[in-house]
Amino acid sequence: MAGRGGGYGTTARTLHWLVALLLLAMIPVGLIMTGEGIGRALQDRLFIFHKNVGSLLIAIVALRVVWRLTHPAPPLPASVGAWQRRAAGLSHLALYGLMIVMPLSGYVRVRAGGFPIEALDALGLPALVPRSEALADAASALHQAAGWALVAVLALHLAAALHHGLILRDGIWSRIWPLRG
């Protein structure tokens, strides 16, 4: 059910901003943890954070996809042109696809590499992929490429949102903003 003023409801807004905040935490952590000279103890803590938040993210993204499939987005205002509608649809499709590819490829990289995922291990969940360096390397390459693609699409998404919210002031931003006016 859409919220007041043709916006998204509370559940959609909550899921959107929860995913956004977690992704914005994961990106710098992913870059820092794979960098040089940060110290082994910090690197280990960042890897543990990244793996466990990634596990949480796939669950939240799955919930978000189910929610979106059962609760369609409110219609865009008539002022939004056809090319913008297509661009918005394609960018959202890319975001959802990358938000699925990222944690799944990360999971495969870690499990195929023989490493733990502490939160999943604590829950007693078994590894779903075999130990394989070739599979781990392929998943790692996919994870890295998809990560850069996600950064690019997120930057485009944020730029479009800011354009609508700060320049056009056409109500697009307020549809998803967590604070209702």
The number of C-alpha atoms within 13 Å of 68 and in the hemisphere containing its C-beta is 15
Tell me: pLDDT of 57 over 90: yes
Name the CATH code of domain 4-74+85-176 (choices 1.10.3720.10, 1.20.950.20, 1.10.357.10, 3.40.50.800). 1.20.950.20
Spacing of C-alpha 111 from chain mean position? 20
Closest CA to 178 of 9, 42, 24, 1: 9
Q: Provide the residue type at 87 as one letter.
A: A
Q: Is the dihedral of CA 112, 116, 119, 120 positive or negative?
A: positive
Tokens coding 77: 């205002």
Angle at which helices 40-70 and 82-112 cross, to 10°: 130
Global pTM value? 0.90
Neighbours of 81 (CB within 10 A): 10
Neighbours of 80 (CB within 10 A): 17
Residues 51, 23: Cα–Cα separation, whole Å: 13
Spacing of C-alpha 64 from chain mean position? 10
Question: What is the arithmetic mean of pLDDT over 13-18?
Answer: 96
pLDDT in tens, 94-133: 999 999 999 999 999 999 999 999 999 999 999 999 999 9
Tell me: pLDDT of 181 over 60: no
* Region of poorest pLDDT, from 2-6, 19-23, 118-122: 2-6
